[in-house]
Amino acid sequence: MSDLSNLSAFTLPLALTAHRRAQTFQRRHSTPALQKRVYLNTLAAYAGATFLEMRGYDVDLDHSYSHDPTQQTLLDVADVKVIGVGRLECRPVLPEASELTVPAEVTSDRVAYIAIRLDESLRQAQLLGFIDVASVSTRETLSIPLADLRSPEELGIFLEQVAQRAAQSTADTLPVHLSRWLQQTVETGWQALSETVAELATPAPNLVFRSSPTAAEDMETQLVPTIGQSKPVTLGTEPDAVTVRLLVGLIPQSGDELEVWVQINPATGQTRLPTNLRLSILDESDIAVIQAEARDTEAIQLKFVAVIAEQFSIQIALDDHTFTERFEV
C-alpha cells in the first residue's frame, strides 16, 4: 500500500454502477428524506471505496453498515469496511457546504471520517480530506470546517499506520500454541526452561485451591515436565509495578492429552510472592475453572490435563492489575 498523492486531484466519476446501487437501496425506503439520505450516503461510500481500492486496499462493502438496509433505516451511515484497518465513515459533502458533518450515531467504531464532495449533477466525487477519530473524541454530532481537515495526501500514510497497529494488536491476541513447544519452538517473549524443568519439580507450600478437580491431587507425582518455557510478567506501572515469573511445563500423555503445569515464581532478587496474588486457569468462555492464591508463599502452582485443540487462558491478578495469556494445545 502507498499514499494517495498520485490520484489526479482526488476526483473520480460516479459511474452508472454507483447510481444503480444507490437507486436499489433508495427504493427499499418509503419517505423522501430517508430516500435522499440513503442515495447520497451510498454514493459517498462508493466513492470512498473506489479511492481506497485504487490504492490497493481491500474493501468489503457487503459487510459495511452503509449497505445494510436495516442500518440505513436506523442510522445516517456511510461507512466503508477496510480489511485490516477498520471502518472509515465517508460523509457526503454537498457543493455549497463549508463543513463536514458527522452524525452522532456514527462517532464510534470508526477509524476516520472522510469528506467526499459530490457535485451538483452527482456525476463526480472528490476526496477533500479526512480527520482521524482520535483527534475528535466525542459522541456528539460533529461539524468540522473543511479547512481543518487533514489533506488527502496524508490518508494513505495514516491508514498504513492504523493497519500496522491493528496487525500488532491481532498478533498480541493470538493464542500461544503449546503443540509447537513439543517441536522445541521457543515463542517470542518466552524463554526455554532448563532440560529437566527443575523449578517445576517441587510444589509450592501453602497453596489455596478453589474449584480445582486435578490441581491438588497427587502433587507428589514423580513425573516432572521436560518441556517448558517461562516469561516475566509485570503487573501495574512504575514505581509500584510488581514483576513475577510465569513458568509453563508440559508432560505428553497418552492419546491427544497434555498435562500442563503452571507456576508463578518471584522475580529475580525476590524470595516470596506478593500476598493475594491470584493465579487462575480460564476455559474458552473465560470462566475460571482452577484458582490458587499466594499467602506469603515462595511460589504457587496448578496442574491440569488438556486435549489437542483445546483453548484456555492463564490469568495472573494482583489488586486491580491483571495479566492474561491465551493458549491452545
pLDDT digit string, tens, across residues 15-48:
999 999 999 999 999 999 999 999 999 999 999 9
pLDDT digit string, tens, across residues 218-248:
444 457 788 899 999 988 876 778 899 999 9
Single residue among 124, 143, 172 that ends a domain in this structure: 172
Single residue among 150, 172, 194 that ends a domain in this structure: 172
Closest CA to 103 of 138, 130, 127: 138
pLDDT at 286 (0 to 100): 86
Both 128 and 181 in a single domain?
Answer: no
Both 236 and 290 in a single domain?
Answer: yes
Both 179 and 102 in a single domain?
Answer: no
- Mean pLDDT over 274-280 rounds to 91
How many domains does the chain contain in total?
A: 2
* Structural domain contains residue 1: no
The alpha carbons of the chain give a radius of gyration, in whole angstroms, of 27
Domain carrying residue 258: 174-328
* Structural domain contains residue 246: yes
* Structural domain contains residue 165: yes
Single residue among 172, 192, 224 that ends a domain in this structure: 172
Both 26 and 108 in a single domain?
Answer: yes
H or E segment to which residue 118 belongs: strand 112-118
Both 167 and 187 in a single domain?
Answer: no
Model-wide pTM > 0.75: no
Cell of 5: 498523492
Both 299 and 206 in a single domain?
Answer: yes
Q: Do the beta carbons of residue 140 and residue 104 sit within 8 Å?
A: yes
Both 161 and 204 in a single domain?
Answer: no
Both 23 and 161 in a single domain?
Answer: yes
Both 284 and 187 in a single domain?
Answer: yes
Both 104 and 185 in a single domain?
Answer: no
Residue 6 has pLDDT above 70, yes or no: no
109 CB-near residues (< 8 Å, 6+ apart) = 87
* Structural domain contains residue 3: no
Both 51 and 194 in a single domain?
Answer: no
Residue type at position 122: L
* Structural domain contains residue 2: no
Both 146 and 179 in a single domain?
Answer: no
pLDDT digit string, tens, across residues 170-182:
666 788 999 899 8
